[in-house]
Structure 1
């Protein structure tokens, strides 16, 4: 009897919640029908708990409940500027989007997709947009989701069925107009609820590290906003304004107790992180704060601990607190032999330097490629060699391919090998090479330029048709880098190779340790005169 009384109380509670919920007519009719079925069932019935759980979900959904939008652009600008440093072009696009929303009083429109390396603030930008609008923010992670039922829900006939990720996010938010981080329509049907769920007031934001794996049909419905990596100056400002205060607070230290001069942060960025974003930098700052917290905890509680002075961490102390440096700048190496060139690569984590090495030996003219090279990069090597041998090649390799941008660096490395002229060690390059000697445009130029800037490179050779991709570079990057635009292989080689000093064969030596990103071994000793005359 006690069990039956408890079950009746539970049913009565669900009934009261359904009565006060602002269910649409269709949902209310379904709820009343299922509630009548539930009252006719015995609690021991197999479907009793399933039906009770379903009605609980119907009562918990935010039918008709919305939060009031704050469509004040000055407030939105203040929130974004306070929580995010830099990103001027991204903020400008968000301002435009919010301005349209405020004029139309409607969130329907293109779905914004923030694309950039990990740790550049894509998710936090979504939270800031929600904060600026006065809305709830819910994050839906679609990584590893391969079944549409995870999004649309499972039908109630399955054991342990639940609503999909979108319906769950709406329930957590408690409103029907949150900002969701994963096309919107007014009648989305969740398979578990089996009812239309109004998503017309939901503001969808999507984030991704790259777009190459997104289906074309989905990509066509997104408005892409690219977020590139941060410059050193931006990292210093963000670390001082956001990362350090947050980690000091999370370490239980008094405010402003840990001070990191810019020289310390530069050493931290240069020696302990290698990233386009800020996650590794924040982890290292957290490690410093924990080390300081250990020293503070050794003092007896009370006045002595409260009177402890603030601690400034000089760069000389990083080795003792964090251990030896984790990274060295590759670009500091000076090329002392022909056949080496410095390329630039794009990865989902940002730009990276790419050393190309080549050597020659007696043989039959066979081309040997080593260093875990992908198919497209192998094509780049073959194309660079084909340009010298006058073989046939179909250009525009960037279509449905990845990685043709190594062609420029491979061409310079081979030209350096065959002419005996050293490549400039202060110069990095990217670009696709065609058989006619054209330097074709490539993707990820901004990330590559930032990688060159982080590594101390002074000159960057780029395809002339990529000039449009660097217009929003930070002023300090443009001031410290010399960007040289090339349209032909002749222009590329003239800018990349040092003047000839000798025509004697350079000694064949093993590649330097630690820089064998792509090693090209070329057995073509009998063709040197032909290649030299071509160059």
Structure 2
């Protein structure tokens, strides 16, 4: 193709977002003042004007640098003034033209000197090949695009001129102005066809991607619309059948709950799957109710909800002091735990086990800890639990299946970090249904309970944020592996002084409120409280004491209501009038020194107690008889004591002959109560030594300790409880094994001050203190 040029001077019309190729005929709306004047100038002359595109469409008043250098000379064929002041013109593109320079004129429009480019048709094999390739690509583009009609393709196919063909195809494509300008600036026809071929190829790829995306979106929309349509149909059918909204409405409601709950991803996937199953179930299906119950459980357990902890040590100490008198070591341990938790943010464990007799305040102490921490309090009683499913839940295959006590407690709390009290952990038993204490191993192990498995829920549940506290009366019923996971804190009984303070600070106010009494209507003296403690209760805790105070309040209320008195002052005499004669004998364990009668000390589930041990001899053959429902350990202790006596007859002043001619009977009263334990050895030995030597035993002494065949005194447990029971019984001197010296500091100071505590190492020392020689 040959190219020639021709210089001209023409008015310039800048176009925004539009480009005109040679041979194109189209309408333009012109509104800018400069453009209108350029058109008027063109109409005065040869009706020719240069149309050039702006580089940026947003520029309203373009300067020469804002306009491309290559444009199209067009003939203005028609011009019409519209009512809004704009001009509508019909233009026909003629030839390409390149701006040489802008001419300064007085007119308020651009006049430019241009070089008009004249093309002459010229064919060769390469040009023909390019034309065919361009036409083929354009045909494929039309098939995918479907925005251009087949008539347009036919009209383009008829064009023989390669340059004109390229311009015609470019004018029909939806391209950016820059890409269209590239085609316009390609003066060489081969270059123009190659550029167009690349643009067509790129556009085809983009259109293919668009088509794939549209198909994917359409399929998804069709599926969603189909599901919606079917659901609406199902609702309509169920409505006609009188099934209200049926499963579909139920499923929608559950989906809303799921969105509000926002559980972890695996739980969400499980719930969505179960909702889909539920939706497909007939309304009358029995399995539908099972699935619904399961979904309800999954949606009601807390996953992310947590109580905001604000650990204030001073406030926690104040709460514990207000609600509990005494228990200093336990309070200190709890405050240490809170202090560490505040420093580290989150502490794994510890799992505390509060061990002590009934009524000492284990459960109420756990409740106070929850109050101090600002956590929800959940209590689960394990007394009598013998089925493993009580802890781990039942599998959903069983009728009436439900989660275990742990998951039920978490649902009750509604938060992932409650204080969880497992009460009476020592009362669990096991049978053919499994061992629930073994199931608790996973719950109470800080390394395992972040993935606790409940048979009903069937998904790991995180218990690591829960603070577990357990309670027990005795330790020997708790399996060792379970004990190993807990930190044991012993709560022993209260002294009489502590009980007095507990009554005055807590129980009295509570019982008066319960019985509708005002403070001026009932006053009770300290002596009266001591009378109740000593004569009407025998316990380590204060539960029975509270009942007796309640009975006094009841009697007082009756007298006030009946008009007998306006107020009642409770004295020791009034206590006896209200409660009857004293039920328990306190004071001295024995009223006088007696031969063969020793006061021993024992530990029981309700605290410490005194134990009278009696020995008597009668004619026989040297046999030892034991009565009082003694266990094997105590029987063996008695045999060891008797053997020791036989080996020390000379030292003890015992006639060896009577060991062959007299039988000995050792008895511990209250035979209906089983007794066992390694702490009565020295007591029984002292009783035997007394009865065989005829020397009486001091009534003011009580003792505890185990004995060996050689007379050594071995350590025992429960020193605090035993010494407190001795103090309560009015004993003045207590003999303890020397190895129990470390336990003396656990004895309350008020008890230590009133008791003489003697540490003994050998049976000879025991007898020296216990036997009263004239």
Normalising to structure 2: TM-score of the pair? Answer: 0.61
- For 1:266 and 1:211, how far apart are their aligned partners in 2? 31
Q: Residues 245 and 256 of structure 1 are in contact (CA less than 8 Å); yes or no, is this contact kept in structure 2?
A: no
- For 1:129 and 1:6, how far apart are their aligned partners in 2? 47
Q: CA deviation at 1:384?
A: 0.6
Larger-Rg structure: 2
Counterpart of 2:391 (choices 137, 147, 151) is: 151
Aligned residues: 484
- For 1:26 and 1:238, how far apart are their aligned partners in 2? 51
Counterpart of 2:603 (choices 346, 349, 353) is: 346
Structure with higher RCO (Cα < 8 A, 6+ apart): 1
Counterpart of 1:54?
294
Counterpart of 2:760?
486
Counterpart of 2:726?
452
Q: CA deviation at 1:387?
A: 1.1
- For 1:195 and 1:242, how far apart are their aligned partners in 2? 45
Counterpart of 1:118?
358
Counterpart of 1:278 (choices 537, 542, 546) is: 542
Q: Which moved more, 1:246-255 or 1:117-126?
A: 246-255
Q: CA deviation at 1:7?
A: 6.2
- For 1:285 and 1:441, how far apart are their aligned partners in 2? 39
- Structure 2 segments unaligned to the other structure (5+ residues): 1-240, 423-444, 649-674
Deviations 1:273-297 (A, max 9, x none): 0001000000111111122222333
Q: Which moved more, 1:20-29 or 1:430-439?
A: 20-29
Counterpart of 1:437 (choices 706, 711, 730) is: 711
Q: Residues 107 and 203 of structure 1 are in contact (CA less than 8 Å); yes or no, is this contact kept in structure 2?
A: no
Counterpart of 1:294?
558
RMSD in angstroms over aligned alpha carbons? 1.9
The structure with the largest strand share of the pair is: 2
- For 2:242 and 2:569, how far apart are their aligned partners in 1? 66
Structure 2 residue matching 1:89: 3-state secondary structure:
helix
Q: Which moved more, 1:401-410 or 1:312-321?
A: 401-410
1:252 aligns with 2:525: no
Q: Residues 527 and 572 of structure 2 are in contact (CA less than 8 Å); yes or no, is this contact kept in structure 1?
A: yes
Q: CA deviation at 1:39?
A: 1.1
- Rate the CA distance shift 1:234–1:27 in 2: closer, same or farther, 3 A: same
Structure 2 residue matching 1:483: 3-state secondary structure:
strand
- For 1:331 and 1:10, how far apart are their aligned partners in 2? 74
Counterpart of 1:238?
502
Counterpart of 1:203?
467
Normalising to structure 1: TM-score of the pair? Answer: 0.87
Structure 2 residue matching 1:331: 3-state secondary structure:
coil
Q: CA deviation at 1:230?
A: 0.4
Counterpart of 1:524?
none
Structure 1 residue matching 2:751: 3-state secondary structure:
helix
Counterpart of 2:78?
none
Deviations 1:40-63 (A, max 9, x none): 112221211111111111111111
- Rate the CA distance shift 1:10–1:331 in 2: closer, same or farther, 3 A: farther
Q: CA deviation at 1:132?
A: 0.6
Q: CA deviation at 1:77?
A: 0.8
Q: Residues 405 and 432 of structure 1 are in contact (CA less than 8 Å); yes or no, is this contact kept in structure 2?
A: yes
- For 1:92 and 1:325, how far apart are their aligned partners in 2? 38
- For 1:491 and 1:199, how far apart are their aligned partners in 2? 55
- For 2:498 and 2:508, how far apart are their aligned partners in 1? 14
Counterpart of 1:165?
405
Q: Residues 246 and 283 of structure 2 are in contact (CA less than 8 Å); yes or no, is this contact kept in structure 1?
A: no
Q: Residues 264 and 315 of structure 1 are in contact (CA less than 8 Å); yes or no, is this contact kept in structure 2?
A: yes
Q: Residues 11 and 52 of structure 1 are in contact (CA less than 8 Å); yes or no, is this contact kept in structure 2?
A: no
Q: CA deviation at 1:365?
A: 1.3
- Rate the CA distance shift 1:257–1:67 in 2: closer, same or farther, 3 A: farther
Q: CA deviation at 1:4?
A: 4.5
Counterpart of 2:741?
467
Deviations 1:447-503 (A, max 9, x none): 10111111111111000110111203222111111101000001111011111x4xx
Q: CA deviation at 1:9?
A: 5.3
Counterpart of 1:428?
702
Matches within 5 A, 1:19-30: 19-30=259-270
Q: Residues 683 and 704 of structure 2 are in contact (CA less than 8 Å); yes or no, is this contact kept in structure 1?
A: yes
1:131 aligns with 2:371: yes
Counterpart of 1:397?
none
Counterpart of 1:76?
316
Q: Residues 732 and 754 of structure 2 are in contact (CA less than 8 Å); yes or no, is this contact kept in structure 1?
A: yes
1:86 aligns with 2:323: no
